[in-house]
Amino acid sequence: MGTWKNVEARNRANRERYARNRDKERARSHRYYLKHRKEIAQRVKERRLKDLEKYRALSLHYYYEHKTEQRESHRRYRIAHPGTYHAERRRMKQRKHDFILQHLGDKCSRCGFSDKRILEIAHINVDPLRSKSGKRKTLTSMSYAAIQKLLPTLTLLCPNCHALSHLDENGRIQNHLTLFVKD
């Protein structure tokens, strides 16, 4: 067994030799790639398309054959892990709520109240969250792109202004939301 200095020198020599070989291998690989770039790109493209078609076919086929089993599996998971499932839904809703607040500002559009904790998101003259089937979409079920499209129809209101916006001139609750936003 060698002394400490000999072991250290041997280790340093091995690292240097490995680094030289690694650099040579990288250079050789890069030269091969430059020479065969088009062929490699074509092979990769074909493989990706083939894998994608295969994956899509398998996943759709499997989904339709096992739809009820998958839904039951998801239901069992939600029941078995209520904290995890619901906590993730709350975090997702909060992230999307923050996204809307970031784009709409940080105060009530009617009175200027600025406590972000209680500001509500309201729709101007329309209810875009109601789908064609009549069911109401939730914030957590919408993608960021869908929320981005809705931003022109949304405004921030404090609870008082939001309640007032639902009343008509006689003090009765309206069926349709009509907001009078300050310019």
Q: With beta carbons less than 8 A apart as the criterion, state whether 124 and 154 touch.
A: yes
Give the per-residue pLDDT at 7. 81
Q: What is the pTM of this model?
A: 0.47
**What is the predicted pLDDT for the residue at 129?**
53
Pairs from 162-165 (Cβ < 8 Å, separation ≥ 24):
162/120, 162/122, 165/110, 165/122
pLDDT tens, residue by residue, 64-92: 888 888 889 888 888 888 778 778 888 88
- The arithmetic mean of pLDDT across residues 93-104, rounded, is 86
Does residue 178 carry a pLDDT above 50? no
What is the pLDDT, as a whole number, of residue 28? 86
Instruction: Tell me how far CA of residue 11 lies from CA of 1, 22, 24, in angstroms.
Output: 14, 16, 20
The terminus-to-terminus CA distance of the chain in angstroms comes to: 85
- Measure the CA–CA gap between 181 and 183, rounded to whole angstroms: 6
Residue 159 has pLDDT above 80, yes or no: yes
- Structural domain boundaries in the chain: 4-65, 91-165
Q: Return the pLDDT at 2.
A: 53
* Amino acid, res. 36: H
pLDDT tens readout for residues 19-76: 888 888 888 888 888 888 899 888 888 888 887 777 777 777 777 888 888 889 888 8
Residue 182 is predicted with a pLDDT of 42
**Within its chain, how far is the Cα of 183 from the centroid?**
33
Instruction: Calculate the average pLDDT of the chain.
Output: 78
Query: Which 3 state secondary structure label does DSSP give 92?
Result: helix
